[in-house]
Structure 1
Amino acid sequence: MSTDDFLARFGAEGLRQPDPVAAAQKAMRNALPSRFYESAAVLERDGLFHVALDGRTARTPARNPLAVTSRPVAEALAAEWHAPSEKIDPARMPLTRLVNSALDGVADQHEAVRAEIVRYAGSDALCYRAGEPQELVALQDAVWEPIRHGVEDAIGARFILAQGIVFAEQPQTTLDAVARHVAKIAAPVALAGAHNVMTLTGSTILMLALALGQRDADAIWAAAHLDEDYQIGIWGQDEDAAERRAIRRTEFDAAVLLLTQG
């Protein structure tokens, strides 16, 4: 099977399937092809860093070169392809799937992607707080409030908080401020990373805190799972849930790389 045939068969999964966990599970059900190349490396051509399989540039499902402007991203892509294995498993290649999506989809739909990120800010997870128990209320305040205030100071606008599931409409001035900062994420791969960070955390605020360098990936991941971890502390960890979370974390790490270095 050639590189193009493989990408046409498996790479498009990342474009059609917005849920990274479902995408990975779907890919796992496919019959995995045998590895058909010896090496994966990064080649610099025309100002771009190409992922090359046995010297030949790999291509996305839409037949765009698998090439990016960031060497660290290209090296991470090549590492996915070079990982020791007799089979090619798309479920273990979250960065490749995400970059395929960026190059084949986001590049032509950047305004729609930015609009979706701004729309998320209108019902951001960090703006909806628990009313009880007091331990959780205090934990949310301790972890989420500094992040929210940091982003608010950076964008020059304020978010409205709500308790429970009662919808709190955010001021248009706040959404406009978010839009101005999201517009600064120009590269398609970085924008794809921003969108996936937002989706996996349920929060544009957390994505902006990461993009602005106010928090690192581990802090953002922990903040996004604060409620879940609180419940785990009470009831214990479910094995299936832990497995799904581990898959999401690999997707998150790929998205963080694109957002911060794409």
Structure 2
Amino acid sequence: MRELFDEAHGHSPLDPREASRKSSTTPLRKRFYESAGVAETPEGFAVTLDGKQVRTPGKRMLAAPVREVAEAIAAEWGAQVDVIDPMSMPVTRLANSTIDGVANDVAAVRDDIAKYFDTDLLFYRASFPEELIARQAEHWDPVLRWLADELGAHFILAEGVMHVKQPDKAVQAVRQALPETPWAVAAMHVVTTITGSALLALALYRKALTPDQVWAAAHVDEDWNSQQWGADDEVMQRWAQRRRDFDAAVKVLAAVPR
């Protein structure tokens, strides 16, 4: 079901995952450096290759606001072997997108996240079978109760995928709870687009759910289908890549200023 919401929302021009899609068709560059490191600068913690500062595709300095994130980026560069494979560097891709794109228009990316509040994954429930209905309730209802108790946001549920207008007061309450700094917004955008739920991303951001709980809640339908029909290798590969991107966003979201 989450794929339906992905199609409905489309992809923002500032989507932090767009770079990964484009890079998959670009020839891989050979590794040209011996070591990767981190240097503290006035712009933040810059990633270095053989002591030289790295630039983003937009020619800006590749630097993070906290050392933990910069070290994660440097570790990805250090882990490359013969060629540099951007698909194996999710924190680097997120950093590039944040610096080159999101930082230029944080409000637009916040707005893109907020679009999910009107048609969030958690609102639309299965009408059968009973076991799937129960699983959705088990994973999704606690999030909706938390939103009601914590933020006063009360949402309306529906069966199927027919659009249901959500109360403006509830949408405004969760919108106001979004982060405002570029790195946090970029990371939350990645979590939102991967899970199909800005509400799950918000629960993660506010530490109401753990990353594993968010991942499980986002994949209730897929897990159910896999148990019934099995999952082929291609599907599993896509899930593994999504999980790498998700984990990178979680790491950034937990470390950067909010």
With structure 1 as the length reference, what TM-score do the two structures score? 0.88
Question: Paired residue for 1:108?
Answer: 104
- DSSP 3-state at the match of 2:177: helix
Q: Which runs of 5+ in 1 are unaligned?
A: 1-14
Q: Deviations over 1:88-132 (max 9, x none)?
A: 111111111111111111111111111111111100001100111
Which SS does the other structure have where 2:94 is aligned? helix
Q: AA paired with 2:207?
A: G
Q: Does 1:86 align with 2:103?
A: no
| Correspondence 1:186 to 2:180 | yes
Deviation at 1:25, TM superposition (A): 6.2
Question: CA contact under 8 A between 2:55 and 2:61: conserved in structure 1?
Answer: yes
4+ runs of 1 displaced by more than 4 Å? 15-20, 22-26
Structure-1 residue corresponding to 2:61: 65
- Are 2:235 and 1:241 equivalent residues in the alignment? yes
Q: Deviations over 1:1-48 (max 9, x none)?
A: xxxxxxxxxxxxxx979594x865653443211111111111112261
Q: 1 CA distance for matches of 2:133 and 2:29?
A: 49
Q: Does the Cα contact within 8 Å between 2:117 and 2:199 map onto a contact in 1?
A: yes
Tell me if structure 1 keeps the 8 A contact 2:16–2:186.
no
1:39-54 matched pairs, under 5 angstroms:
39-46=35-42, 48-54=44-50
Unaligned runs of 5+ in 2: 1-11
- Mapped to 2, the partners of 1:28 and 1:169 lie a distance apart of 38
- Of residues 158, 164, 167 in structure 1, which corresponds to 2:160? 164
Aligned alpha-carbon RMSD (Å): 1.9
- So what's the TM-score if we normalise by structure 2? 0.89
Superposition deviation, residue 151 in structure 1: 2.6
- In structure 2, C-alpha distance between the alignment counterparts of 1:203 and 1:152, rounded to whole Å: 16
The count of residues paired between Structure 1 and Structure 2 equals 245
